[in-house]
Amino acid sequence: MCLAIPSKIIELDDIMATVEVGGARKSISLQLMPEDVGMGDYVLVHAGYAIQKVDEEAALEAHRLLREIALQMEAEGALHDPFDDEGYVIPPSMPPI
Amino acid sequence: MADMADKQESAQESAQESTKAQALRLSRAIAVANAKIGRPVNLMEVCGTHTVALFRHGIRALLPSGIRLLSGPGCPVCVTGIPDVEAAMALARMPGVVLCTFGDMMRVPGGKLNLFDAKADGADVRIVYSPLDALNLAMDNPDLKVIFFATGFETTSPLVAATLMQAQDKVVENFYVHTVHKLVPPALAALLGSGEVKIDGLILPGHACTITGTVPFEFLAKEHATPSIVTGFGPLDILEGILMILNQIVDGKPSVDIQYRKMVRPEGNPKAQEALRKVFTPADAYWRGIGTIPESGFALKEPYTKREAVAALGPVDIPDYPEPKGCACGEVLKGLKLPTDCKLFGKACTPDKPVGACMVSTEGSCAAYYKYGGEL
Ligand code: SF4
């Protein structure tokens, strides 16, 4: 349950931001971010809060891993919403990165 | 189109190939290091995500037989005590109360029932993605008392702290928390201090350390001479982390180091640490199956204490239930037994009909062993 997903900031609004991951959008809080972030930056998101900035390369690598797991899980017939608490999975429909 | 798909596929295949080649290279280096050490090595991970990743990526198959992987108390859901679940259910049954929590908590067994049962029975229990969702619910419904049943390690507790700070700023009087947060370092101190189980190295949780950094874990090397590596969740990350631990054993120089440099900094996230200090103070906490560990949980500080749900809305009547008979969760969490050593495993206890909490959470050791077919 401690998994955090690198997500891309596509909208900024004071201490809130909209992030996108695997085509899903979510409004998150930047209240705990130790540094400034800008549009297009990747942040690690856990349960509605950004907890750290990550560089794009690391974010994309994490996505690749999550997509592999998603495919595996789909094959097993159990796929979760990427923002579901216990799911840490990006839908396989996510565009290739 | 077909061409593009082909190209993509072959690119993916070659990426996979190189992952495989790298995994094999690491696996060989691990075997060499293990041979140098010349005895079996017990490694423990303390993160449910690692427990699952070890199976998913088939890591055990890549390790020599001299390396034994144990799962420690790495799943905050699994260590939530029966009294804490009972209190949550009692709160949820109060009129005018909504209890919100993470999905994983719903099936954790209390004495007899779980939160799903309470919900079916008419209690207003809702699954949320974030503690902020619970705060928003409170703001939208001033006539309801909204409680967030908060579990989790250091990855999650700062978010609850931040949500409480917001509730205070925005004067949301009807928002409460029932916190059963746990801290990883004191649990490891208790485990290593007990001497019950021999642990040669620790695989530290990647995301919890994003918040804490490595400082709170330094004592592992200094006081217990136990090599400890903060490790990521990919197959290569885990293999590299294991190799780093073995190299420390070979060199006889235990330290606390980071394999997962892309995500974890030695100093952690100072802002999240500050939020924790502002809202919480360390308190003794009860770990299911293990017992009470000093200063391994959090109590609320002023001015937040008025939001502690049991104190504010209680008292709640919590009957005294024993742990389910025959369940070896406690020993599993301490690394003394493998899930498969439990007599109930896969027979009386399955993910569909869990007896103990370790079989409930998807990241519980018993659930992971069950799903992936025993020790792979
Ligand atoms: S298999 Fe079930 S009963 Fe046995 S230790 Fe695990 S959770 Fe407890």
Question: Whole domain around residue B262: which residue ranges?
Answer: 38-325
Q: What is the pLDDT of residues B58-83, one digit of tens each?
A: 888 889 989 998 888 888 888 899 99
Q: Domain tally for chain B?
A: 2
CATH of the domain at A47: 2.30.30.140
Model pLDDT, residue B174: 97
**Which residues of chain B register pLDDT less than 50?**
1, 375-376
Which ligand 1 atom minimizes the distance to the CA of B345?
A: 1
The model's pTM is 0.87
**Which tokens sit at B197?**
């189980």
Please tell me the distance from the alpha carbon of residue B271 to that of residue A31, in angstroms, as a whole number. Answer: 9
Range B202-234 burial, b when 16+ CB lie within 10 A, else e: bbbbbbbbbbbbbebbebbbeebebbbbbbbbb
Report the candidate in B207, B194, B148, B150 with the shortest Cα–Cα distance to residue B172: B148
For residue B1, being part of any structural domain is answered with no
Identify whether residues B189 and B236 lie together within a single domain: yes
Identify whether residues B64 and B97 lie together within a single domain: yes
For residue B135, being part of any structural domain is answered with yes
> One digit per residue, pLDDT tens: chain A, 97 residues?
556 788 999 999 999 999 988 778 889 999 999 999 999 999 999 999 999 998 888 888 878 877 777 776 666 655 444 434 343 333 333 333 2
Identify whether residues B139 and B184 lie together within a single domain: yes
For residue A81, being part of any structural domain is answered with no
Model pLDDT, residue A83: 39
Inter-chain touch B156–A2, beta carbons under 8 Å:
yes
Identify whether residues B87 and B184 lie together within a single domain: yes
Q: Domain tally for chain A?
A: 1
CATH of the domain at B78: 3.40.50.11740
Show Cβ contacts of residue B112 under 8 Å, excluding neighbours closer than 6 positions.
B321
Please tell me the distance from the alpha carbon of residue A2 to that of residue B340, in angstroms, as a whole number. Answer: 25
Task: List the B228-231 sheet strands across, edge first.
Answer: B67-71, B41-45, B201-205, B228-231, B256-258
Count CB-CB contacts under 10 A for residue B12.
Answer: 13
Interface test with A, best of B269, B279, B360 (most A CBs within 10 A): B269
Model pLDDT, residue B17: 63
Identify whether residues B319 and B348 lie together within a single domain: no
Please tell me the distance from the alpha carbon of residue B141 to that of residue B231, in angstroms, as a whole number. Answer: 42
Identify whether residues B172 and B50 lie together within a single domain: yes
Inter-chain touch A34–B272, beta carbons under 8 Å:
yes
For residue A77, being part of any structural domain is answered with no
Model pLDDT, residue A94: 32
Inter-chain touch B363–A1, beta carbons under 8 Å:
yes
Please tell me the distance from the alpha carbon of residue B178 to that of residue B145, in angstroms, as a whole number. Answer: 12
Of B104, B129, B262, which is closest to A54 when you measure between CB atoms?
A: B262
Chain B nearest C-alpha distance from A9 (Å): 17
Identify whether residues B367 and B240 lie together within a single domain: no
Model pLDDT, residue B195: 85
Do B263 and B204 touch, CB atoms closer than 8 A? no
For residue A65, being part of any structural domain is answered with no
Identify whether residues B362 and B316 lie together within a single domain: no
Show Cβ contacts of residue B273 under 8 Å, excluding neighbours closer than 6 positions.
B158, B211, B212
| B282 burial level (CB within 10 Å; 0-12, 13-18, 19+) | middle
For residue A79, being part of any structural domain is answered with no
Identify whether residues B339 and B321 lie together within a single domain: no
| B5 burial level (CB within 10 Å; 0-12, 13-18, 19+) | exposed
Of B75, B131, B155, which is closest to A4 when you measure between CB atoms?
A: B155
Identify whether residues B346 and B225 lie together within a single domain: no
For residue B23, being part of any structural domain is answered with no
For residue A24, being part of any structural domain is answered with yes
- Whose Cα sits closest to atom 7 in ligand 1? B356
Inter-chain touch A51–B211, beta carbons under 8 Å:
yes
CA distances from A37 to A47, B39, B198, B337 (A): 18, 48, 44, 45
**How many helices (H) and strands (E) would you count in chain A?**
1, 5
For residue A87, being part of any structural domain is answered with no
For residue A73, being part of any structural domain is answered with no
Please tell me the distance from the alpha carbon of residue A86 to that of residue B36, in angstroms, as a whole number. Answer: 40
Identify whether residues B250 and B334 lie together within a single domain: no
Question: Whole domain around residue A19: which residue ranges?
Answer: 5-55
Please tell me the distance from the alpha carbon of residue B293 to that of residue B44, in angstroms, as a whole number. Answer: 19
Identify whether residues B278 and B186 lie together within a single domain: yes
Show Cβ contacts of residue B17 under 8 Å, excluding neighbours closer than 6 positions.
none
